[in-house]
């Protein structure tokens, strides 16, 4: 995993990320990251659990169509690239020299590639809007 630095101390990781890429404090398996993404997905899109709500999210001129979750749902269905972010509820890595609990999944649907890395709370808010940042505990084990 490119963003893992398990052999470094937390202080060394903080120092390395001041001018470099963000780093996780530990290595997560592909399975851990995949399960974490799907935990976020089910929590964030759990509202789309009926045919009626699905159509409300994808049909213009409905009350739910312009909700931020509906916009992200349509992007998830149609866009080749999508970024999501969430709060892991405890520090999981460092970004810009500071400890962070926020994670980004940079999803390239067309190439079936997912890049996952720690981000700042400000970047998470830019990606999701501050009201749509879910708190997901799946990386805390």
pLDDT single digits (tens) 57-67: 888 988 888 88
Q: Model confidence over 73-128: pLDDT tens digits? A: 888 889 999 999 999 999 999 999 999 999 999 999 887 888 999 999 999 999 99
- Domain borders along the chain are 10-132
How sure is the predictor about 5, in pLDDT bands with cuts at 50, 70 and 90? low
**Which tokens is 82 given?**
């999508």
Average pLDDT estimate for 51-62:
84
**Rounded to whole angstroms, how far apart are CA atoms 1 and 37?**
16
Model pLDDT, residue 2: 54
Model pTM score: 0.86
Chain-wide mean pLDDT for the chain?
Answer: 87
How sure is the predictor about 141, in pLDDT bands with cuts at 50, 70 and 90? low
The HSE-up count of residue 90 (CA atoms within 13 Å, CB side) is: 7
pLDDT more than 70, % of the chain:
94
- Asked if residue 1 has pLDDT above 50, the reply is no
Give residue 79's Cα distance to chain centre.
Answer: 16
**Rounded to whole angstroms, how far apart are CA atoms 123 and 103?**
10
């Amino acid at each position: 995993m490119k963003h893992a630095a398990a052999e470094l101390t937390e202080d060394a990781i903080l120092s390395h990320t001041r001018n470099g890429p963000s780093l996780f404090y530990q290595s997560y398996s592909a399975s851990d990251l995949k399960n974490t993404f799907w935990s976020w997905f089910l929590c964030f899109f759990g509202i789309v659990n009926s045919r009626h709500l699905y159509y409300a999210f994808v049909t213009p001129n409905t009350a739910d169509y312009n909700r931020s979750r509906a916009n992200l749902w349509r992007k998830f269905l149609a866009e080749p690239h999508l970024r999501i972010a969430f709060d892991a509820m405890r520090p999981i890595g460092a970004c810009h020299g500071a400890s962070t609990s926020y994670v980004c999944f940079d999803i390239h649907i067309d190439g079936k590639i997912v890049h996952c890395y720690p981000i700042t709370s400000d970047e998470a808010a830019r990606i999701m809007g501050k009201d749509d940042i879910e708190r997901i505990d799946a990386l805390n084990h």
